[in-house]
Chains A and B, each alone.
Chain A
Amino acid sequence: MKAVDGIDLEVAPGEVYGFLGPNGAGKTTTVRMLVTLLLPTGGRASVAGYDVATQPAQVRKRIGVALQEAALDPLMTGSELIELQATLHGIPPRSVRARGAELIDRVGLSQAADRRVGQYSGGMRRRLDLAMALIHEPEVLFLDEPTTGLDPTSRLTLWSEVRRLRDEGTTVFLTTQYLEEADQLADRLGIIAAGKIVASGTPAALKAEVGRPHLDLVLADGSDVAVAREVVRRFGVQRPPGEDCNLSIALQHGAADIAPILRALDDAGFGVAELELKQPTLDDVFLEKTGEHLEGAEEPEPEPV
């Protein structure tokens, strides 16, 4: 079985590249190959100008890696982990403490630096993980689902750090299963499903490709949805309805279709309890390319702080 099959992608220096897909799509396998933890069985990949298969040591010098689940040693303190990582990256001993303290401060862990990581919250672990990945000022930073399982506040903190890194010129390869995260952070993104890239481009371009808005309708109680679906068929392509509606129609003429649809339903004896006009989202892109909704699409958006 191929976890990743013939992926072809290019990330420009200084951009945030989002790699969006559901669980099991092949995101982590791709990252593990790019960070030299896994040898590709075929094809070629280079990171920061070096081949991952034949020049792995050169690649590792130039990348920062924060893998899924923030793998940290719970027995060590934040400072100790930072110093360990710095030494492994060949940072001179005289610079280790200063650089470590600077990064710990940057991710807001100064107060907790001397506490064992086992006592950290999920958000703190993620921030420490990020600090460790940045210790040697990498050219390319790999973040594998950095906000999975985080509370909204921690997620927003991490997002702002990713934006800051982009502003500083770091290339970021970010995998995520969250649409909002990809939409907010990625300059360009690739959508992966079943080991293949099904779409790539800027979020705006991808959404424009889908183009049409869609109308979600909740019919009055007792309505025969199958009959209603036939009534509105002429107005656009029927989409698989989400959990919060009975009917979902990709509108051929945009908002201009709303009134005729409501009239047609009314004429056929259907009451409409709720309706919502939705602009194209990355989920629509995913739906159009794969015929399925993206897992995690219903993940709540972070609340502003």
Chain B
Amino acid sequence: MRASIVVLARRALRNAARRPQFLAPLVLFPSLFLALNVGGLERTTTLPGFPKVDGFLDFQLAAGITQSLLLGGVSAGIAVALDIEGGFFDRLVASPAPRSAIVLGRVLAAGVIAAFQVSYFLVLGAVFGVDVKGGVLGVLSVLAIGILAGTGFGAIGVLIALRARNASTVQGIFPLVFVVLFISSAFFPADLLSSPADAVAAYNPLSYIAEGMRHPIAFSNDVVALLEGLGAAAAVTAVALGLSLQALRGRLRQA
């Protein structure tokens, strides 16, 4: 089982590297969005009730990371859908490897790519003057939440691919990434959101994931924020993995 997961994860990573047109947008697009946001909305930090931060980039960096990780999930989904469309998925399913390894291998690769995405944004932030307030421990916290969240988003992508069975449908969910992210507290403090967005954001796991990463970057290490971030990411991962494995079984019954 472990060997199958590792070999499938390695394949997913190798293919991601060989398809830069899929990999590059995961960081480039959120980087551009981050630049536009920070450049145009810097004065937001002067709003009453906005938490005290060194700069808007300190506050927004976690949103950029979250957005990038969500796009990573879409990318993982497209890769699985392409395997299904091309018939390669059937080859994997017809092998004696445990079928759960097919999902787990892809999701593990999403976690590895997430580590790269988080690292990229931390370096980008450092280049533009973001000093991670939580120090090394803070960086490790951001990585932990980011990798777990990236794994969960990868599982969501796989789930959608197994249900949709075609890449264009998976690609079609791309705008939803923004909708779900905008109804969280990723881009603006929860206290500044008006009703009903504030109520939705309170139940949106992306709020906790983004804030769990934001705290060590912009403020300080905070155990509650860390645990909430890890908890939300773990919950997303567990639910999405469970549903993906169920979808795989369903797909085989209907095949």
Contact = CB atoms under 8 A, between A and B. Distances in A.
A75 B17 CA distance: 10
Chain A's interface size range is 20 to 34
B4 interface: yes
Nearest to B1: A90
A205 interface: no
* Max chain B C-beta neighbours (<10 A), residue from A57, A83, A87: A87
A161 to B, nearest CB: 19
* Interface residues of chain B: helix, strand, loop or mixed (majority): helix
B170 to A, nearest CB: 18
Given A76-B15, A88-B96, A89-B95, A32 B87 contact: no
Contacts of A16: none
A68 B91 CA distance: 11
Contact of B94 (A60, A72, A80, A84): A60
A65 B94 contact: yes
A85 B95 contact: yes
A71 B19 contact: no
A227 interface: no
Contacts of B96: 57, 60-61, 88-90
* Max chain B C-beta neighbours (<10 A), residue from A72, A84, A88: A88
Nearest to B93: A37
Contacts of A102: none
Contacts of B3: 87, 90, 93
Given A32-B255, A75-B15, A87-B3, A69 B97 contact: no
A73 B15 contact: yes
A159 B198 CA distance: 68
Interface in B56-95: 83, 86-88, 90-95
Contact of B252 (A39, A57, A68, A90): A39
Contacts of A215: none
Contacts of A162: none
A138 to B, nearest CB: 10
A46 to B, nearest CB: 17
Contacts of B91: 65, 67, 71-72, 85, 132
A134 interface: no
A35 interface: yes
Given A75-B15, A76-B14, A84-B7, A37 B95 contact: no
6 contacts: A60-B96, A73-B15, A75-B18, A75-B19, A87-B4, A90-B3
Interface of B: 3-4, 7-8, 11, 14-15, 18-19, 83, 86-88, 90-97, 252-253, 255
Given A37-B255, A38-B255, A73-B83, 12 more contacts: A38-B252, A60-B95, A65-B94, A71-B87, A75-B14, A76-B14, A84-B7, A88-B7, A88-B92, A88-B95, A90-B96, A90-B97
Ranked 6 nearest A-B pairs via Cβ = A71-B87, A88-B95, A88-B97, A60-B96, A87-B7, A61-B96
Interface of A: 32, 35-39, 57, 60-61, 63, 65, 67-69, 71-76, 80, 83-85, 87-90, 93, 132
